[in-house]
Chain A
Amino acid sequence: MNLQSSSSNPNFLKLRFTKGFLRALMRIYRHRSKSSSSPREISQRYRRIKLAADASMALAVGSRRLWSRAVLWRIRNQVRNRHVFVKRVSSHAIKKRAQKKKEEQYHLAYDDQENKLRKLVPGGAAMDICSLLDEASHYINCLTTQVKMMRRIAEICS
């Protein structure tokens, strides 16, 4: 498969995303219980759908991009740590977080917007400025595709 042509072909991305996302939706739909309209079920399903949408887009892009790799890595780690997450927040972690916040405030002086962008783009914290801008433009393209497809699916279902 020619990776160069596929990364510049928007329909390829749309198709891969839609197939994966619809498959995940079917799975979620099949597993709904009898009390499928309770608010708790709905909020749980909302979280699953959002995760499925983000994961489907990241999977459609694959490991070609830094941001998609960061999303997939984060999802895999969330699944792995799901059972131990609550116990792990120790005082050491809290101290580290406070220290990191102080360091971040020193870097904010030059370009506040750049740091905000780093937080919005997955994996942005570790990128240099060129990669950050490049990944941001690809990320925006994929997000708009994702929104377009989700909107179309919602229109069909309603």
Chain B
Amino acid sequence: MSSRRSRSRQSGSSRITDDQINDLVSKLQQLLPEIRDRCSDKVSASKVLQETCNYIRNLHREVDDLSERLSELLATTDTAQAAIIRSLLMQ
């Protein structure tokens, strides 16, 4: 496929081996809670990539939700709690 040719062109001086890619894919696999908790080895690379995309999207959504929550909390929080935060910062 033309994309495989373009991939090797992108690697430049070092040839990207299948082993390298497999190692990186399995490293990603360990991070994904979906796949890690289920059955171990027989997960295809494209499934790992798909789960990675889903997981990153979920994390982005969580950051958005937490930012919203924090912005509402900052509207109502009083100075005592600000002092607590500052003391946390000092530790």
Interface residues of A (CB under 8 A from B): 18-19, 22-23, 25-26, 28-29, 32, 36-37, 41-43, 45-46, 48-50, 53-54, 107, 109-111, 113-114, 116-117, 120-121, 128-130, 133-134, 136-137, 139-141, 143-144, 146-147, 150-151, 153-154, 156-158
Contacts and interface: CB of A to CB of B under 8 A. Distances in A.
A121 B53 CA distance: 9
Contacts of B57: 120
Given A150-B66, A150-B70, A154-B69, A140 B3 contact: no
B33 to A, nearest CB: 10
Given A113-B50, A130-B24, A136-B52, A158 B73 contact: yes
Interface of B: 1, 3-4, 6-7, 10-12, 16, 20-21, 24-25, 27-28, 31, 46, 49-50, 52-53, 55-57, 59-60, 62-64, 66-77, 81-82, 84-86, 88-89
A28 B21 CA distance: 43
13 contacts: A25-B70, A45-B74, A109-B1, A117-B53, A129-B10, A129-B16, A137-B24, A137-B27, A137-B28, A140-B31, A140-B55, A143-B60, A157-B81
